[in-house]
Amino acid sequence: MELSMEWEHKTLISELSQGKELAKQLSNHLNPSSSLEARQFLVDKILSSYEKALSLLNWGALVDQQPKPTIGTVEPLHSFANSSPRSEVSDQDCKEECNKDVYKKRKIQPRWTEQVKVCSGTGLEGPLDDGYSWRKYGQKDILGANFPRGYYRCTHRHSQGCLATKQVQRSDEDHSIFEVTYRGRHTCSQASPSPLASPSPKNDCSKQSKYHRKQQQLQLQREEKPKPTEEISVNFGSDLVQVKSEDLGSKDDIFPPFSFPCTSLGNENEENNIFTESMMENNFLGSFSPTFISPATSESNYFSMSPCHMNSFGIGYPNVQTPESELTTEIISAPTSVTNSPIGDFDISIDNVDFDTTFPFDNPDFFA
DNA sequence: CATATTTGACCCTC
DNA sequence: GAGGGTCAAATATG
């Protein structure tokens, strides 16, 4: 925790420094010859940077206010992993007790929801390919829902004790929208789904197997009962992200307000991955730099994102308003490339804006 | 053979 | 008791 706080402090300073540096750059762009796009981008970056800083402060407050877990240890994630989920409990006598732990822990997992619109023809992007490697462990028909809800957990749950899970529910209203509810943080090493960070095959947590993809496609087809075919032309139109926080119903829930998409940088320290993971889990993956239209002054935050901002390291994650809040991210967004990789846009943006020179992730001490 | 999905059953919370 | 979440055996796939 102390490490986390220290990192948090450094991050905060880095964000503020970055904002300052960006403001400087913006001032250099205030001459008439400078393009409006460049200025707008810098403004976005500055806003994003400060939003992150504010969010970090909020998150820190949340952590401080976080009630101690009533069960388990101070490190619920790891203790849970070590105490094994139900399936790994061989001792029947222990089983019941451990089950209780499972369900208690379930409650204290951070949880947030995304609504992702699948706009590509494959139907595999969006919630089904968010960069992590998920394994389906269940499916259930939900009352009032036309489509069954799929339950996924991190493939590395057993190998690395990663407790991240997600639920995928296809929207009734718009069948191309998936509501993805994430729970828990990825604690698997790497935890770096962003192609931006490491396209390397060693990135075992960032790729889904071909088998996985095919199965998902089959599943999609199965779920398409009311709408048998969803052949959507590749339309990478306007990207809009709608973020709203909503009541969590559990004060135990922690929501990391933002994270950095530049991945874990090889650092497997869980504390250092708190933000990166949470962001990745929210599909931002370093792909988006939201332009805040409205600060988090209301229950719902809306911000648009432009593909030209795909390089942003700042997610500008919406503020967590209350410890009870749950973040719902509605991504009405298409993948910005056929490969669903933001790298192309990343490069474009880098070309456009010379902003990275001060970016803290270049600093090896950033995650130290 | 290893790994992933399917699916009925079980357990917990409300 | 209903509904939701998870387990685990059976099954499928590469």
How confident is the model over A92-120, as pLDDT tens digits?
Answer: 334 334 444 444 444 456 667 666 666 54
Cβ atoms within 10 Å of A17's Cβ, excluding its own = 15
As a whole number of angstroms, the distance between CA A355 and CA A344 comes to 17
Q: Is the CB of A240 under 7 A from strand C?
A: no
pLDDT of residue A164: 83
Whole-number average pLDDT of chain A: 52
Of the pLDDT bands very low, low, confident and very high (cuts 50, 70, 90), residue A18 is confident
A257-276 confidence digits (pLDDT tens): 333 333 333 343 433 443 33
- Measured at the CA of A131, the angle between CA A186 and CA A252, to 5 degrees, comes to 30
| Closest residue to B6 measured CA to C1′ | A138
What does the CA dihedral A347, A335, A244, A55 come to, rounded to 10 degrees?
A: -20
- Nearest CA-CA partner of A287 in A333, A256, A248: A333
The Cα–Cα gap between A231 and A143 comes to: 27
A246 three-class SS? strand
Sheet with strand A300-304: strands edge to edge: A134-140, A149-154, A165-170, A177-183, A111-117, A325-332, A240-247, A300-304, A291-292
CA distance A98 to A216: 32
Q: How far is the CA of A281 from the C1' of C11 (A)?
A: 30
Identify whether the C-beta of residue A72 lies closer than 8 Å to the C-beta of residue A79: yes
Residue A185: predicted pLDDT: 74
pLDDT confidence of residue A184? 78
**Interatomic CA–C1' length for residue A98 and nucleotide B11, angstroms:** 12
Residue A301: pLDDT band (50, 70, 90) is very low
Q: Are A120 and A232 in contact (CB under 8 A)?
A: yes
pLDDT at A37 (0 to 100): 72
> Shortest CA–C1' contact from A219: which nucleotide?
B5
The predicted pLDDT at position A92 comes to 37
Of A2-11, A14-23, A329-338, the range with the highest mean pLDDT is A14-23
When pLDDT is cut at 50, 70 and 90, the band that residue A19 belongs to is confident
Mean local confidence (pLDDT), A118-134: 57
Distances (CA, A) of A12 to A7, A20, A47, A358, A366: 8, 12, 14, 14, 11
High-pLDDT (> 70) share of chain A, %: 24
**pLDDT at A137 exceeding the cut of 90:** yes
Q: Which two tokens stand for residue A2?
A: 């102390």
Considering only CA atoms, which of A254, A43, A228 is closest in space to residue A123? A228
Whether any strand B atom is under 7 angstroms from the Cβ of A137: the reply reads yes
Residues 6 or more apart in contact with residue A90 via CB below 8 angstroms: none
Separation of CA A104 and C1' B13 in angstroms?
A: 10
Q: Which residues in window 120-139 of A are less than 7 A from strand C by Cβ? A: 137-138
Asked whether residue A330 carries a pLDDT value surpassing 80, the answer given is no
- Tell how far CA A332 is from the center of its chain: 15
Predicted TM-score (pTM) of the model is 0.47
pLDDT-based confidence at A136, cuts 50/70/90?
very high
Amino acid A151: pLDDT: 93
In this predicted structure, what is the pLDDT of residue A119?
A: 54
**Nearest CA to the C1' of C12 belongs to which residue?**
A215
In degrees rounded to 5, what are phi and psi of residue A203? -75, 70
* pLDDT at residue A48, as a whole number: 67
